[in-house]
Amino acid sequence: MNKIAGTLAMLSILVSSTSAYAIECNNTVWNKIQANGKIVVGVKADTKPWGYRSSDGKLIGMEIDLAQEVADTLGVELELVAVQSSNRMQFLEVGKIDLMIATMSDRLDRRKIVGVVGPNYYSSGTNIMAPKALKITSWNDLNGKPVCGKQGTFYNKIIEERYGADVIAFGGNAEAKQALRDKKCIAWVYDDSVIAGDLLSGNFDDYEMPLASEDDNPWGIAVPIEERNCVFGRFISGMQFNWHQTGDLIKLEEKWGIQSTAYLATQKDQFADWLSE
Amino acid sequence: MKRLNSNQNHGKLPVLLSVKGNGSHAYNSMTMVNWLASMPWWTPVLLMTALILWPHVAWAGSNYTAGDALDALWRWAPFLIKSGFLFNILISFLVLAVGTVGGVLLGLGQISLSKPVRAVSWFITQLFRNSPWLVILFVVMLLVPYEIKLFGYNFFFPDWMKAVFGLSLPIIANISEIVRGAVQSVPNTQWEAAEAMAFTRNQTLWKIILPQCFKRMIPPWMNWYAILTMATPLISILGVEEIVNLSRQAIEAEDNHPELLIPFYSFVLILFFAYCYPIARLTVRLERKFAVKL
């Protein structure tokens, strides 16, 4: 049954994308950007190092760098709007932002609302940080146990359903990590690259990331859905393709101190220029 | 409710005392400011000191010290005050403005001569006085769309505007009670005398009754201002970028060290205390001053 539903959903996506081809492109947002000489990009303000604030309140991070490069390539000014997981798609729908680069996992249901264009610029998996003393060896060890997490991540529900964990979701990761230290939960579930960074910091020496990452999910940059197969969507696709081919994404990963992901390396190989060297 | 002025009334003839109109109770709910004003001013300083010393004991194992956390707070404080706390204060002023205008109208509705108006005003007042603020905020958030098309124009309702509207509803209801209570606390003889001198009802209300109410409404009105100011961090749950949300973003930017939680949130506590405490002291003083003077 699920398979049929999935196939139908895939088909409807295919149909909608082909029909979008057929209808004429208005390029409204694209033209607006050119006319105003300004692109409004929605980025995160609470997700270091992708999008966060410096102490003077300015938005900085890896995704802000990407947004800047989009603006520079277009030759327009960049305006940043801080978005949250709960409102980022709505902001794009109603035109409050022109483009969204906001750590959004590329999921089927989201593609029906916003125009996610490939190739995906990043990917992250789910893992846990747990005290070494607990000797957790498999995801099934979480069954029936309290696990701390952050509100709004899509895998909270998944690990509850798949492994029977009781997720206690906090507003921020600081609160979640404090709860882990206070032994209110046996593990903290989050993106694997962030956990790896914390383990390297030396502040969590009694903790480990014992499991194999799961649900590796590519992230998507989104344009308004009407422009997915028009100039704007194609342009953003081109930007992402180029970032992969030149290895810019890997450089940015290093610049922002993110644990290097296998995804970016394989993408770089895949998109490598066959004539180079 | 404890009457602060009870001591001053000894030896006065009963006819000189304020009369509770129509047998219903005059509205007086000053618990919050009385409680706040009764604290010595150094309470939060003491709390902060105690809390800062605490993590030294608890997490000696981590490389990140309470000193690092205070450094981080020092770096972020200007931004948190300028973009965060001042925004909370702005929100509180807006809510107070909307709440006062709406509350006066609704309060006058509660003492209207028309029964349906009275009933509806009473119902709205009771509904919003007795609902949890957070629930009201959630309902407003979900009910009001982000964008409304009217006369060919698009009107945007950003989150902060919805939050002002949502916080205003309980304030409207409580100020409505203040107005009703104040009007009904004016002795009936004032109405009768005005009627005998051929004043219309509107003239009586605006020229005779309300001017007498004004002074006695100020303390409870300030009381509600203090309460609503302390309630503004509620809107952080709705994603408005006010001080609690910005503190959270600051903690994120400082790598989410759990050691940051106590200094940052205590800092927010001290800001609110420093702002609300003088208001509470002043309110209590004004209440004593304005009590029973007709």
Establish if B219 belongs to a structural domain: yes
Which of B83, B146, B257 is the closest to A57 by Cβ?
B83
3-state secondary structure of A187: strand
Q: Say yes or no: B251 contacts chain A, CB-CB below 8 A.
A: yes
**With 60 as the cut, is the pLDDT of residue B54 above it?**
yes
CA atoms within 13 A on the CB side of B151: 1
For the stretch A229-241, pLDDT in tens is: 999 999 999 999 9
DSSP code string of A204-273: -TTEE--S--EEEEEEEEEE-GGGTTSHHHHHHHHHHHHHHHHTHHHHHHHHTTPPPPHHHHHHHHHT--
Count of CB pairs separated by less than 8 Å, A with B: 74
pLDDT bracket for residue A216 (50, 70, 90)? confident
User: How do strand A77-83 and strand A38-44 relate by DSSP bridges?
Assistant: parallel
The whole-number average pLDDT for the span A90-112 is 89
Higher pLDDT, A9 or A132: A132
Least confident range of A6-10, A117-121, B22-26, B33-37: B22-26
Establish if B165 belongs to a structural domain: no
Q: Say yes or no: A151 contacts chain B, CB-CB below 8 A.
A: no
Q: What is the pLDDT of residue B22?
A: 47
**Which residues have a Cβ under 8 Å from the Cβ of B2 and sit 6 or more positions away?**
none
In A, minimum Cα distance to B73 occurs at A55
CB B200 within 8 A of CB B234: no
Q: What is the pLDDT of residue B169?
A: 95
For the stretch B79-125, pLDDT in tens is: 999 999 999 999 999 999 999 999 999 999 999 889 999 999 999 99
Higher pLDDT, B121 or A212: B121
Least confident range of A108-122, A156-170, B9-23, B205-219: B9-23
Q: What is the mean pLDDT of chain B?
A: 83
Higher pLDDT, B44 or B15: B44
Least confident range of B22-31, B172-181, B194-203: B22-31
**With 70 as the cut, is the pLDDT of residue A9 above it?**
no
Q: What is the mean pLDDT of chain A?
A: 86
Q: Say yes or no: A84 contacts chain B, CB-CB below 8 A.
A: yes
The whole-number average pLDDT for the span B151-180 is 88
User: Residue B236 CA to chain centroid, in angstroms?
Assistant: 17
Mutation pick from A44, A46, A103 vs chain B, by most beta carbons of B within 10 Å, is: A46
Residues of chain B found within 8 Å of residue A55, distances taken between Cβ atoms = 75-76, 79, 250, 253
CATH of region A35-123+219-270:
3.40.190.10
Q: Are A55 and B250 in contact (CB < 8 Å)?
A: yes
Q: What is the pLDDT of residue B5?
A: 47
Q: Are A53 and B63 in contact (CB < 8 Å)?
A: no
Does the domain spanning A125-215 belong to CATH 3.90.1150.10?
Answer: no
In B, minimum Cα distance to A86 occurs at B239
In B, minimum Cα distance to A52 occurs at B253
pLDDT bracket for residue B2 (50, 70, 90)? very low
CA distance A129 to chain B (A): 14
Domain boundaries, chain A: 35-123+219-270, 125-215
Least confident range of A133-142, A165-174, B16-25, B210-219: B16-25
As a whole-number percent, the residues of chain A with pLDDT over 70 amount to: 91
3-state secondary structure of A164: coil
Q: Are A96 and B79 in contact (CB < 8 Å)?
A: no
**With 60 as the cut, is the pLDDT of residue B25 above it?**
no
Which of A55, A84, A202 is the closest to B76 by Cβ?
A55
Residues of chain B found within 8 Å of residue A175, distances taken between Cβ atoms = 258, 261
Q: Are B61 and A206 in contact (CB < 8 Å)?
A: yes
**With 80 as the cut, is the pLDDT of residue B28 above it?**
no
CA atoms within 13 A on the CB side of B145: 8
Establish if B39 belongs to a structural domain: yes
CB A220 within 8 A of CB A117: yes
For the stretch B242-278, pLDDT in tens is: 999 999 889 988 888 888 888 899 899 989 998 999 9
In A, minimum Cα distance to B149 occurs at A94
Residues 191-220 of A with CB under 8 A from B: 198, 201-206
Q: What is the pLDDT of residue A7?
A: 59
Mutation pick from A170, A194, A203 vs chain B, by most beta carbons of B within 10 Å, is: A203
* Residue A62 tokens, joined: 């890896």
The whole-number average pLDDT for the span B229-233 is 92
Which CATH number belongs to the domain containing residue B42 in this structure? Answer: 1.10.3720
Q: What is the pLDDT of residue B21?
A: 47
As a whole-number percent, the residues of chain B with pLDDT over 90 amount to: 36
Q: Say yes or no: A48 contacts chain B, CB-CB below 8 A.
A: yes
State the sign of the Cα–Cα–Cα–Cα dihedral A39, A40, A41, A47: positive
Q: What is the pLDDT of residue A241?
A: 92
Q: Say yes or no: A32 contacts chain B, CB-CB below 8 A.
A: no
What pTM was estimated for this model as a whole? 0.77
Structural domain count of chain B: 1
Q: Say yes or no: A53 contacts chain B, CB-CB below 8 A.
A: yes
**With 50 as the cut, is the pLDDT of residue B24 above it?**
no
**With 90 as the cut, is the pLDDT of residue A23 above it?**
no
Establish if B44 belongs to a structural domain: yes
CA distance A47 to chain B (A): 7
Least confident range of A30-44, A151-165, A182-196, B145-159: B145-159
Q: Say yes or no: B146 contacts chain A, CB-CB below 8 A.
A: yes
CA atoms of B96 and B228, how far apart (whole Å):
8
Q: Are B253 and A55 in contact (CB < 8 Å)?
A: yes
Q: What is the pLDDT of residue B61?
A: 57
Q: Structural domain of residue B27, as residue ranges?
A: 20-55+64-106+175-290
In this predicted complex, what is the ipTM?
0.75
* Residue B35 tokens, joined: 């409680």
Instruction: Say how many C-beta atoms besides its own lie within 10 A of residue A67's C-beta.
Output: 26
**With 50 as the cut, is the pLDDT of residue B152 above it?**
yes
Q: How far apart are the first and last CA of chain A?
A: 50
